[in-house]
Amino acid sequence: MSNSVLTNHSAAIALQNLTSTNTKLGDVQGRISTGLKVQGAKDNAAVWAIAQQQRADVGALSAVKQSLDRATSISDVAMAAGESISDLLNQLKEKVVAAKDESLKTQSRELLNADFKALMRAIKSTFENATFDGGNVLDGSLTNGLKFLANADGTSFITLSSKDLSFSGSIITLGNTTNLLTLTKAGEALTKLDASISKLNAAMGELGAQAKQIAAHNTFVTKLTDTLESGIGNLVDADLAKESARLQALQVQQQLGAQSLSIANQSPQIILSLFQ
What CATH code is carried by the domain that includes residue 165? 1.20.1330.10
53 in a domain, yes or no?
Answer: no
123 in a domain, yes or no?
Answer: yes
Q: Do both 158 and 246 map to the same domain?
A: no
Q: Do both 74 and 110 map to the same domain?
A: yes
* 1: pLDDT strictly greater than 60: no
154: Cα separation from own chain's centroid = 14
The domain in which residue 248 lies consists of 9-35+238-274
166 in a domain, yes or no?
Answer: yes
Residues 143-157: pLDDT tens digits? 889 999 999 998 999
Residue type, 239: D
pLDDT reported for residue 18: 81
CA distances to 38, 122, 161, 184, 205 from 112, in Å: 76, 15, 35, 15, 31
pLDDT reported for residue 264: 73
Q: Do both 85 and 182 map to the same domain?
A: yes
Q: Do both 164 and 28 map to the same domain?
A: no
pLDDT reported for residue 3: 63
Beta carbons within 8 Å of 155's beta carbon, 6+ residues apart: none
54 in a domain, yes or no?
Answer: no
Q: Do both 107 and 191 map to the same domain?
A: yes
Beta carbons within 8 Å of 216's beta carbon, 6+ residues apart: none
Q: Do both 213 and 261 map to the same domain?
A: no
Confidence of residue 212 (pLDDT cuts 50, 70, 90): very high
55 in a domain, yes or no?
Answer: no
- What's the number of domains the chain is made of? 2
User: Smallest Cα–Cα separation from 65: which of 156, 148, 134, 9?
Assistant: 148
**What value does the mean pLDDT take over residues 82-94?**
95
Euclidean distance between CA atoms 235 and 253, whole angstroms: 29
Euclidean distance between CA atoms 236 and 171, whole angstroms: 56
Q: Do both 270 and 165 map to the same domain?
A: no
Confidence of residue 271 (pLDDT cuts 50, 70, 90): low
pLDDT reported for residue 238: 81
119 in a domain, yes or no?
Answer: yes
pLDDT reported for residue 204: 95
Q: Do both 98 and 217 map to the same domain?
A: yes
Q: Is the pTM of this model over 0.75?
A: yes
Confidence of residue 276 (pLDDT cuts 50, 70, 90): low
* 104: pLDDT strictly greater than 70: yes
Confidence of residue 17 (pLDDT cuts 50, 70, 90): confident
117 in a domain, yes or no?
Answer: yes
Q: Do both 27 and 112 map to the same domain?
A: no
